[in-house]
Structure 1
Amino acid sequence: MEQQKLPNSTLILVLGILSIPMCCCYGVVGLILGITAIVLANKAAKIYAENPEEYTGYQNVKTGKILGIIGIILGVLYMIFIIVMISLVGWETLQDQELLQERLQDMIEV
């Protein structure tokens, strides 16, 4: 019997890879991509567990799941960083580069 490719194995890998750089979009995009990669990876792992000899591409699923977890962690950390920065200096300050530099200099001098 010919082996077939595991459903969504390439998609899971791509979503896992994209979740890492996209965590810099305020953490939200990386979080969404990482969660999607993990959910799809869990479904693919169940399919593979039922008949492992029928499918190939399980390595992509495992790698995509790991990268999705990393993307989620980075996304959450970046979201926490943004929340802390907003609480310390304010949203308007984050929008103005010169004002942000002044506030950071004030915080360093104190």
Structure 2
Amino acid sequence: MRNSRLPYATAVLVLGISSIALCCCYGLPGIMTGIIALILYRKDIRYYEKNKMQYDNLDSLKTGRKLSIIGISMSLVYILYLIFAYYIAGAEAFSDPTVIWK
């Protein structure tokens, strides 16, 4: 009998990668894609726990989860950086990043 694939494993992996890639876009797209990936991960892990012998792509699901957590973390760090830049240098720090380091 051939094992089937988890329905959202590829989506979780793609969203995890995109959350890392989008963390530099002011942080918000990276957080949103990472949260969506974690929600889809939770749905898929429930399918897997019901019948462990039926599914075979758990590794890509776990990798997508790890990537989404990394992407959310990087996005939060970038948002904290933006808050710091706004607090120290004001709105002109967003258009000229060298203002912070003068």
TM-score (norm 2): 0.91
Structure 1 pair 101/23, CA: closer, same or farther in 2 (3 Å)?
A: closer
Whose helix fraction is larger, Structure 1's or Structure 2's?
A: 1
Q: Which residue of 1 aligns with 2:69?
A: 69
- TM-score, normalised to structure 1, is 0.85
Gaps of 5+ in 2: none
Which whole-Å CA distance do the structure 1 matches of 2:99 and 2:33 have between them?
36
- The change in CA–CA distance for 1:101 and 1:72 in structure 2 (over 3 A counts) is closer
**How far apart, in 2, do the equivalents of 1:80 and 1:11 lie?**
28
Kindly provide the amino acid, as one letter, of the partner of residue 92 in structure 1. Answer: E
Over aligned residues, Cα RMSD in angstroms? Answer: 1.4
Q: How many residues align?
A: 102
User: 1:70 is matched by which residue type in structure 2?
Assistant: I
Larger radius of gyration: 1
How far off its partner does 1:19 sit? Answer: 0.7
- Determine the C-alpha separation between the residues in 1 that align with 2:67 and 2:34: 8
Deviation string 1:26-58 (CA, Å, 9 cap, x unpaired) is 111110111111111111011001001111211
Q: Distance in 1 between matches of 2:79 and 2:4?
A: 40
Q: Percent identity?
A: 36
Q: What are the ranges of 5 or more consecutive residues in structure 1 without an aligned counterpart?
A: 106-110
